[in-house]
Structure formats: structure tokens, C-alpha cells
Amino acid sequence: MSTTAKTEVDNGTPPELENLLELDSYLKPYKDEIKRRYKEFMLQVDRINVEENGIDTFTSAYTHYGIHLDSRTNEIKVKEWAPGARAVYIRGDFNQWQEKQYPLSRDQWSKWTITIPPLADGSPAIKHGQAVKLLIETPSGELVDRLSPWSRYVQVGKNTNVYHGVFYNPPVDQVYKFKNTRPKKKDRLKIYEAHIGISSWKGEVATYENFRVNVLPRIVKQGYNTIQLMAIMEHAYYASFGYQVTSFFAASSRFGTPEELKALIDEAHGLGLTVLLDLVHSHACKNTYDGLNMFDGTNGCFFHGSPRGFHDLWDSRCFNYTEREVLRFLLSNIRYWLEEFKFDGFRYDGVSSMLYHSHGIAHGFSGSYDEYFGLATDTESFNYLQLANYVSQTLYPESISIAEEVSGMPTLCRPIAEGGGGFDYRLAMAIPDVWIKLLKEKTDEDWQVSDITWTLANRRWSEKNIAYAESHDQALVGDKSIAQWLFDAEIYTNMSVFTDRTPIIDRGIALHKMIRFLTYGLGGEGWLNFEGNEFGHPEWLDFPRAGNDDSYHYARRLFYLTEDETLRYKFLNAWDQAMNSLEEKYQWLSAKNTYISRTHQGDKVVVFERGNNGLLFVFNFHTSQSFTDYRIGCGQLGNYKIVLSSDAKSFDGHDRIDMNQVFTAEDYEIDGRPYSFRVYTPCRAAFVLALVDDAK
């Protein structure tokens, strides 16, 4: 360890702390707590460096923990950590499931190992594809079957819902060889949040191959540059949406093989797409036979053995982030997905739940900094997240991390060197709640445009957000997507271009475009859309379960609706594509300057500028009032032209805006802007103007 690093550990001062305090002076009273957290983080790094030969070695555990073939000798080597077990055995198809033929030996650190020699013909004792399990003798003497926590492939058994381990060691000619290089780290993420299994119009579990062939081209055509893949880590219960993980190192076998997932990611890279994994390290499924729970026969092992180890709301287990072997397991898991599958980063699930001893349950965050730096905060979890980001950033500097975090904890998305959590972004989780609340509880006339824009713009300075109007949460059965709230039953009956446009359809088409565009334009430094929402998918998402007779009817996405020229879904799809195209040209997501010049409640008009190229957004949410010669302010002199209009016929608008008109700014101050000009603002429409030189 360097002298500088040693000094940092000794005094607990992040080397760039002053930069953090300069950005937010309200953090100064909590300086000592920030230093304490950082010191604990550095002590963990120091221990790993000294006692584990460094992060590189420590996070390579997946290469020798679990069940592996030594290709030089054809020996099978098994290594597991099970501190509570009285004995450990391995059995499976290879030995006709005999119980105690192959006992493992225990060392002083509760590591259990065995080397199984090759067969007489020189071939490995365990063959690729054979079922295999560990047999654990618990502290009470009971013999129980368990899956290796490090299993790379698991499959559900015949006539059962329980998964068994599969020895995954395909022949060399079947191992996928990557062809494409990773894309460079993007600073303007346009994320397509997707689930492999529902990515088909058929009532089935769709595959990695289907997604690679049929969905990737669609994502590229729509103008997204990033994919966020959900439910990849194996989960026994399909309807959990992948959030009750049972096997952390296994790509879900219900969608195909690990090699097919690698092919998907490689092709995405070839198309210029960044691929993020929805990573669940906040908790684990409480299954015992095919999960981590009670692995060694105790409540502890990977989890806190006390009530702290149970998440009551999610009915799951909570990791013990202070245990060295748990850190080895989880940090190696991060490395595994980055290295073996070439994911480009992660969206960390459930970060708010990790950060607070209450898991955020019934915790209404007031915004007081005392809530973030007091006893309510689980700083052991915060230190784990620092370590997780440190591993990614050290081994893969181009990797990206996004926190699903609702409390707004300061410093979470600041560099670790400042004492921050090290995340690149957090999800702007308050935004969809506002839209759904408005659609559910308020009439259009009661929408407060200043409140809407305040929510969209209310984020911590210098901590980047991913904005979204809705995600998978709003698409699930029991909730409603924005399209379902807007169109109601008419989403099934009146979306044909040959039927008269009813008031509900007219309003729905207009507001669907405006809600998404205002969120995209003002809400963050990145944008996220859940698959299907871009065209107003008419059905909610409901996985097969006992409550719906195990039906797959709603566990699908009807992409073909956008190709049907007789349906209005094509217009919403085209608008989504146009928004992405406009952002790609003007790059407002990376802009540092945003100025909201008008939020007029009576007119229901919102005007704001974003970026350095004169980009000017105008929204009129009024239900019926259009305005002629409406003066709007701007920050630059010059000629302006409309570059995108939601009212255009190509987006099923009323075509009330002249796209060829040029507007000349004059030296007339309004709304705090030095210049202004007059425009026509039709009701329930949005448009964007740019300086003519930029509009060509």
C-alpha cells in the first residue's frame, strides 16, 4: 500500500473531500461522518490488499470456488465455504447420487475442498451437462441437498419447480468467442429497459436468441444507445421479475444457455449498444433447496443470522456485508458478469433498502441531512456499495453504475475519492410517482405545471439522474402504465386510424407524447424507457402464477402493433424515435445549463432552455386554449426554427404548427431572459426550437 493511501486510512480524509464540500456546503457539519465512512472503506481495501493479495486476486474467486475442471489434469476440483456445516459431500448423476462417496475436507477457515481424479479412461468424473448438488450435514445432523452458490448454470428438474445444479463445461468448440469490442463509456445514456422472457408477442418464455435476432435491431432503430437487461441472474420464481435471485452466477436457463447470452451481448456491442445488467445484491431469495438461504444449515452464513438478516416486506434474506467471504462472493460476482459476459455495468437494485436499517419501509424522507448521516443509515451497506463501485472502476474503468435509490442520499453519486458512493447515476424515482398521481387523482385543469417542473428539475447538483416517466413498475398488473391511465378501455377499441378520434383518444395521444417529452427534456442526465411503453403498449404485464392459472397471455410485448399501418401505436412509436434522434443531434442530456423561464399556471405553459445551442422547449398543457403571438424568452439572439413538434401529422397531431416558419429573437426581456420572440402555441402540444444554424 502506498504512503499516500496509508495516510488516508490513518486520518480518514478522502483526498478530494474539499471538492465535495465546495459543491455542497450543507455537508460541512457532517464532514466527520463522511471521513469515518471513507476510513472504513479504505480499511477494507487495505485488508484485501494485505490479506488477500489485492482486489484482482480477491475478485477472481469465481475461477476456483464452486465446481471446476482442471483442464491440465482432467481433475474435478470443488471448493465451498460453509462455516456451519458438520460435513459436506458432492453427488449427482456422475455417481448415481450416492450420498457420502465424495466427502470434502475442511480447513481452519471453513473452506471445504475435494479433488476428484479422472476416470480410468482419463476423462473427467463429472461431464458437461450432468446434474450435481452438494450434500450438507447441518449442525443438527440432518443431510440436506444444496446447490453450489457459485453454480454457473442451473435448471429446473423434471416434475418439480426446484432447480438443480448443472456442471457447465462445454467443449471448446461450443464456447462463444467474442468478436466485438466494448463501446466507450457514454455520457448520455438512452436506456431501453428490457426483459428477455417477455420480448415476444407469443404467450411463451422468449429466448436470448429471439432477443438478439428480433429485438436488438428494433432498439437500434428507435435510437437507444443502452440496454438494461432485467431478470438475468437465475431466479426460481418467474413472476418475481428476477428480483428473488437464487443463483447469483447463473444466467437464467429459462431463456437459453450462457453462450447464447454472450452472443446477444456481443452483437449488441457490434451495434454500438452499451449493455447493463440489473444487479440484485440488496437481498436474496429465501429458498433453501435452490437458493442461498440456510446453505450451511444455519440462519447465518451469507446473511445476518439475527432479525437484521430478514427483509419482511420482500420476504427475503439480507446479506452480511461485514463478512469477508460474503464480500468475496459478491465482489467476485461483479467481476464475473463484467469479465465473462462483458456487461458494461450495472443498475443496482434496491439501494434505498440497503442504505437504511428500516430498509426505507414507512420512511418518509424529509430532506434533512440528519436522516442521511445519522444512526438510521446502514453505513456497512454504504461501504459495500463503495467497494462494489471501486471494484468495477478499478478493473473496468469504462463501466457504468446506476443506483435505484429514492431517498436522495447526498454523496451517493459522487466519486469515492470525495467520500461518495461512487455511482454514476441514480434513478429519478420521484418522477413517475408524480405523473401517475396526476393521472389517477387530478383533472387536467388541476395540474400545477410549476409543481411538475419542480419535481423534474429537483435533483442534487452534480449528482446525475436517469429520468423516466414510467418503468417496469408501472407496467405490472395491479398498476397501470401511462397509456392505460390515458386511454382506459378505448386502448382496445378506438386506436384504429379509421375510427373517429374520440376525446379520450385525442387527449391520450397528445399527453402521452408530452409527458414523456417533458420528462426527457428536463428530468435528468439520462433517459430510460421500459420496452413497449414507447408505443403505449395496451396490456399490463402479468407473469404466469397461481392467480392467473399460470397464463403467459400478458407476459409478452406486442411489438407488431407498431408495424400495423391501421393503428395509432405507430405514431407514438415514431415520436419516441424522434425524441431520441433529436437528443442525439443536440445532446441536451449532457448539457450543464438549464433555465426554466416560464411555468404559467393559468396558461398551463412551460418554457425552458437546455444546452448551449439555443434549444428552446415549449409545452402547452391547456385543455382547450391555444395562444397566438405568445411571447417566450430566450438566452441568445438569432433566428430560430421549430425542429420537432408533437402536433405534426406524422405523430398523429393536428398539424397546427408551421414547421417552416423562422422566428427572430429581439432585444426584449421577459421571464428573466434577455431576448424573446412570439410564437403560436397550440393546446396540448409541445415543440422545440433551435437556432437556425443548428436547425439546418
Secondary structure, 3-state, 540-559 = CECCCCHHHCCCCCCCCCCH
Full domain range(s) for residue 108? 61-174
Phi, psi at residue 576, to the nearest 5°? -60, -45
| Average pLDDT of the residues in 384-400 | 98
SS (H, E, C) 283-337: CEECCCCCCCCCCCCCCCCCECCCHHHEECCCCEECECCCCHHHHHHHHHHHHHH
Check which CATH number belongs to the domain holding 604 and give it. 2.60.40.1180
642 and 573 fall within a common domain: no
- Using CA atoms, how far apart are residues 422 and 358, in angstroms rounded to an integer? 23
Question: What is the CATH classification number for the domain harbouring 533?
Answer: 3.20.20.80
Tens of pLDDT, residues 577-608 = 999 999 999 999 999 899 999 999 999 999 99
- Nearest of 110, 100, 108 to residue 134 by alpha carbon: 100
Same-domain check for residues 37 and 132: no
CA distance 389 to 588: 27
User: Does position 383 have pLDDT exceeding 60, yes or no?
Assistant: yes
Query: Does pLDDT of 8 surpass 60?
Result: no
pLDDT at 1 over 80: no
Q: What digits encode the pLDDT tens for the residues 469-488?
A: 998 888 887 778 999 999 99
The 3-class SS string of 399-443 reads: CEEEECCCCCCCCCCCCHHHCCCCCCEEECCHHHHHHHHHHHHCC
Catalytic entry in 404, 583, 609, 652:
404
Q: Residue 184: inside a domain, yes or no?
A: no
> In this structure, are 482 and 424 located in the same domain?
yes
Domain ends where: 123, 149, 174?
174
| 427 part of a folded domain | yes
The confidence score (pLDDT) of residue 5 equals 45
pLDDT digits (tens, 9 = 90+) for 439-449: 999 999 999 99
Model confidence at 11, pLDDT cuts 50, 70, 90, reads low
183 assigned to some structural domain: no
> pLDDT tens, 611-655?
888 899 999 999 999 999 999 999 999 999 999 999 999 999 999
What is the pLDDT, as a whole number, of residue 7? 45
Q: Is 404 a catalytic residue?
A: yes
- Say if residue 545 is in the same domain as residue 614: no
Same domain, 223 and 260: yes
User: What mean pLDDT do residues 378-396 have?
Assistant: 98
Lowest mean pLDDT among 118-132, 175-189, 329-343, 355-369: 355-369
Q: Is there a domain that residue 281 lies in?
A: yes
Phi, psi of 474 (to 5 degrees): -80, -15
Please state the domain count of the chain: 4
Co-location of 154 and 70 in the same domain: yes
In a shared domain, residues 287 and 404:
yes
* pLDDT of res. 473: 85
Give me the mean pLDDT over the 532-545 stretch: 94
Residues 157 and 306 in one domain: no
In the block, residue with C-alpha cell 456487461? 343
Task: Give the containing element (helix H, strand E) for 573.
Answer: helix 569-586
Lowest mean pLDDT among 3-17, 192-206, 274-288, 628-642: 3-17
Q: Is a pLDDT exceeding 80 seen at residue 535? A: yes
Pick the last residue of a domain from 549, 564, 586: 586
The verdict on 224 and 110 lying in the same domain is no
| Predicted local confidence at residue 366, as pLDDT | 79
- Note whether residue 180 is domain-resident: no
The 10s digit of each residue's pLDDT in 143-164 is: 999 999 999 999 998 888 899 9
What is the Cα–Cα distance from 460 to 450, expressed in whole angstroms? 18
Whether residue 664 has pLDDT greater than 90: yes
Closest-CA residue to 343 (of 451, 431, 251, 449)? 251
Residues 576 and 479 in one domain: yes
CA dihedral 161, 166, 168, 171 (to 10 degrees): -110
Could you tell me if residue 460 is inside a domain? yes
Q: What is the band of 695 on the pLDDT scale with cuts at 50, 70, 90?
A: very low
Q: Which of 41, 58, 75 is the last residue of a domain?
A: 58
Question: What number is the average pLDDT over the span 315-320?
Answer: 98
The yes-or-no answer on residue 349 being catalytic is yes
pLDDT of 79 over the 80 cut: yes
pTM here is 0.96
Predicted local distance difference test score (pLDDT) of residue 4: 44
Residue 419, all three cell numbers: 467520500
Domain assignment present for residue 272? The answer is yes
Average pLDDT, the chain: 95
Q: With 90 as the cut, is the pLDDT of residue 312 above it?
A: yes
Distance separating alpha carbons of residues 133 and 146, to the nearest angstrom: 6
Q: What percent of the chain has pLDDT over 90?
A: 92
Q: Would you state the pLDDT for residue 10?
A: 57
Look up residue 428 and give its amino acid.
A
| 124 and 203 within one domain | no
* Residue 571 placed within a domain: yes
Choose the catalytic residue: 137, 234, 267, 349: 349
Pair (414, 489) in one structural domain: yes
Other beta carbons within 10 angstroms of residue 86's beta carbon come to 16
What CATH number does the domain containing 160 carry?
2.60.40.10
Residues 6+ apart with CB under 8 A from 585: none
